[in-house]
Amino acid sequence: MSSQLPILSYQEIEQELQGFEQQERQRLGLAAAAEQQWRDLNPQVFRRQDRGETTLLIGGLTMAHDCLMQAALQGLDYKVQLLDCPDTKALHLGKEFGNRGQCNPTYFTVGNLIKHLVHLRDVEGLSVEQIVRSYVFVTAGSCGPCRFGTYVTEYRKALRDSGFDGFRVLLFQQNGGLKQATGDASGLEITPTFFLQFMKAMLAGDVLNAMGYRIRPYETVSGATDAAMEQAKQEVAGALRKRRSVVLAMRRARKFFRSVAVDRSRPAPKVMVIGEFWAMTTEGDGNYRLQRFLEQEGAEVEVQTITAWVLYLIWLVLHDSRNRARLTADDHAGEGLRGVNLWVRLGSLHAADRLLRVMFHTFARAVGLRGVKLPDMQKIADYAKAHYDVELRGGEGHMEVGKLIEAIQKQKAHMVVSVKPFGCMPSSGVSDGVQAAVMAQNPGAIFCPVETTGDAAVNFQSRVQMFLFKARQKAREELQTALDTRGLTMDQFQERAGRGGCATLAYPKHRYAGTASNQVFEI
């Protein structure tokens, strides 16, 4: 007669397994290690009294923005040093000391900091103790699981493994001001004056970049625009450093750009660059110098402004506040409306949006930047709604979809390039997935999604060149249509343009995507 085994519950099985484990540990002489939660013990203190002996390290935006941000902080009596634009050496250092599987913006920016600290130690002769005591790195932070959310821990891990354990990394949060993950950041005083200086530097950087990219493709003397750009940056930086009028500085900088001779009769294809924030903003090896590569291939580049990103953040809070106002019960969320006057919040956000736009256009008029418009974020959301839920957040969210649709419908560019790091889920899901549906409805548009890994420049640039070939054809056909409309030949157009028909600051009114096509109607 067979005996039936007893049926044990899950808890009884677990107890037997734990008992067996304890017996085996005792027999083998293995003491049970007490579980300890990992804590970041890296000191993050930057006190007000340390400011005179502490240098802030900053960098990561465009070269113009970094230069002006440095001047703005120096105007507030901070000691500031700029990091170089991240290069391939920074990428290698980031991969050497960082975790595996990160996106290349993480490797570039983390490695760039390590490269600078190694220079301070090995070239300038500072000890690690001096570096840790006298330098602090300030970087951007945000919510979410992407690079913004994990940057600080990644920095600390790499700094520890590269021999700079204890080096301080502070976060400038897009929501909540400037603060660290732990500790006291009272050495960074967040005041209205601080934010005003910060905004002036950001807006001025956007305007100067727009001027440079508008003029450089049509300069008749190679390098003239870069020289004017450098003079303009120093003029504005001096005003920020001395806390003087940036508007007057931009007005003085106008003469530098006006002195650049241009010929806008050449049908340069206009290429809009969108995508992941860092990949489309950096001007170095992180995106294989995409902007300069496009210009070398004869294109006019339209870059995205940092101001547009801030306007997008304002729109998100406006959108969420309106949605929360329709809830039937109190909203207890961290950014909810419990105890908040809805109309005051909405009014403040609209005022902030308006102030940014007024300041941007004031700087633009002062330096001579004409015909530039900041995007209407509600229209961008309306464009994107049919293809991408505006409630989804990550990367640029719906904004990349809306930008592409607007560029197609408003003829803002002959070609759109979406650049993002390899493996970036928010950007890849949009540019490789959602945008396919957009292009299916607009078969005549030229959209080039590309990914960066930091070590595949030839493949990256070859792909861009293939799409750029079609954009050149489109630009030439468009120019011929404009010439036929005006009854001009190409020779007549070029001859009139060469007689002074292309004043540097007199940008033609928008009718077509191409600047040369628009210039036909200004001759």
267-321 per-position pLDDT tens digit:
999 999 999 888 999 999 999 999 999 999 999 999 999 999 999 999 999 998 8
**Number of Cα atoms under 13 Å in the Cβ half of residue 462:** 4
What pLDDT score does 497 carry? Answer: 80
How far apart are alpha carbons 11 and 129 in whole angstroms? 53
What pLDDT score does 84 carry? Answer: 93
- Band (pLDDT 50/70/90 cuts) for residue 432 is confident
Q: What percent of the chain has pLDDT over 70?
A: 88
| Whether the Cβ atoms of residue 502 and residue 217 lie closer than 8 Å to each other | no
| Mean confidence (pLDDT) of the chain | 87
Residue 175 has pLDDT above 60, yes or no: no
Residue 231 has pLDDT above 80, yes or no: yes
Residue 35 has pLDDT above 80, yes or no: no
What pLDDT score does 42 carry? Answer: 58
Q: Which residue has the higher pLDDT, 389 or 232?
A: 232
Q: What percent of the chain has pLDDT over 90?
A: 56
| Whether the Cβ atoms of residue 268 and residue 515 lie closer than 8 Å to each other | yes
- Band (pLDDT 50/70/90 cuts) for residue 177 is very low
How far apart are alpha carbons 104 and 421 in whole angstroms? 6
- Band (pLDDT 50/70/90 cuts) for residue 10 is confident
Pick from 383, 448, 387: nearest CA to 420: 448
Of 49-58, 198-207, 243-252, 254-263, least confident by mean pLDDT is 49-58
Q: Which residue has the higher pLDDT, 322 or 454?
A: 322
The whole model's pTM is what?
0.86
What distance separates the 2 farthest-apart alpha carbons in the chain?
Answer: 113
Residue 182 has pLDDT above 70, yes or no: no
- Location of structure tokens 């440095």: 70
β-bridge mates for residue 56, sequence order:
80, 136
Residues 6+ away with beta carbon under 8 Å from 412: 270, 272, 302, 406, 513
Q: Which residue has the higher pLDDT, 187 or 456?
A: 456
| Whether the Cβ atoms of residue 396 and residue 77 lie closer than 8 Å to each other | no
Residue 179 has pLDDT above 60, yes or no: no
- Mean pLDDT (whole number) for 8-13: 84
The pair of structure tokens assigned to 327 is: 């809830």
Give domain 48-189's CATH number out of 1.10.3470, 3.40.50, 3.40.1000, 3.40.1130: 3.40.50
How far apart are alpha carbons 416 and 422 in whole angstroms? 18
Of 65-69, 103-107, 152-156, 225-229, least confident by mean pLDDT is 152-156
Which residue type is seen at 253? A
- Band (pLDDT 50/70/90 cuts) for residue 173 is low
| Residue 282, SS3 per DSSP | coil
| Whether the Cβ atoms of residue 321 and residue 337 lie closer than 8 Å to each other | yes
How far apart are alpha carbons 247 and 479 in whole angstroms? 36
Residue 142 has pLDDT above 60, yes or no: no
Burial class (CB in 10 A: 0-12, 13-18, 19+), 167: buried
pLDDT in tens, 462-487: 999 999 999 999 999 999 999 999 99
Domain boundaries, the chain: 48-189, 191-260+306-373, 270-304+394-522
Residue 91 has pLDDT above 80, yes or no: yes
The torsion angle over the Cα atoms of residues 520, 369, 213 and 315, rounded to 10 degrees, is: -110
Residue 148 has pLDDT above 60, yes or no: no
Residue 396 has pLDDT above 90, yes or no: no
What pLDDT score does 336 carry? Answer: 64
Q: Which residue has the higher pLDDT, 450 or 500?
A: 450
Q: Which residue has the higher pLDDT, 436 or 350?
A: 350
Is it true that 48-189 and 270-304+394-522 share their CATH fold?
Answer: yes
CATH architecture of 270-304+394-522: 3-Layer(aba) Sandwich (3.40)
- Band (pLDDT 50/70/90 cuts) for residue 106 is confident
What pLDDT score does 139 carry? Answer: 78
What pLDDT score does 3 carry? Answer: 60
Residue 430 has pLDDT above 90, yes or no: no
In 3-state terms the chain splits into helix, strand, coil percentages (rounded to 5) of: 55, 10, 35
